[in-house]
Amino acid sequence: MSEDKHTENDPERTLVTLEQLSQTIEVMTSVVNRLRQHLSEQLQAQMSNQESAALEQQAEQELASNQVTESEAKAPAHDDVVRAQKQEQQQQQRESFVVEIRQQDPEPVRKNNKTLH
């Protein structure tokens, strides 16, 4: 009798297991997509930081090449450098994070009560 019950439950258990695997795959796909998006945003931020640093360096070189009097050239250049340093510090202070997603175990599937006569 116990063997009969075990074989009757086997296809049902297999279906439940397959459904759980399907749900797990969906959750993992979602996690992978979020991680891709997060990495993409980080790469874009890094590229924009590099571009702004290159622009700042170019601006500093242009200021240095212009033969303006030292008193006029030093004040704005110093302010620009201080402002750029503050912006860079603010960007570095941003923290990354990892989100953990958990799926609750589904309630066990109940069998229909069958009455044999």
The two tokens of residue 66 are: 């212009």
Taking the whole predicted model, whether its pTM rises above 0.85 is answered as: no
| Confidence at residue 73, expressed as pLDDT on a 0 to 100 scale | 47
Tell me if 25 is assigned to some domain.
yes
Task: State how far the Cα of 73 lies from the Cα of 62, in Å rounded to an integer.
Answer: 11
Tell me if 105 is assigned to some domain.
no
What is the tens place of the pLDDT at every residue in 18-48? Answer: 999 999 999 999 999 999 999 999 999 999 9
- 117 pLDDT more than 80: no
What is the tens place of the pLDDT at every residue in 65-104? Answer: 775 545 554 555 667 777 877 777 766 666 566 666 666 6
Strand ranges (DSSP E) for 1-117? none
More confident residue, 49 or 94: 49
**Which of 89, 62, 90 lies closest to 77 in space, CA to CA?**
62
Tell me if 19 is assigned to some domain.
yes
Tell me if 112 is assigned to some domain.
no
Question: Which residue's structure tokens are 């960007």?
Answer: 91
Segments forming the whole domain that contains residue 37: 2-89
Task: State how far the Cα of 45 lies from the Cα of 52, in Å rounded to an integer.
Answer: 10
Tell me if 77 is assigned to some domain.
yes
Please tell me the total count of domains within the chain. Answer: 1
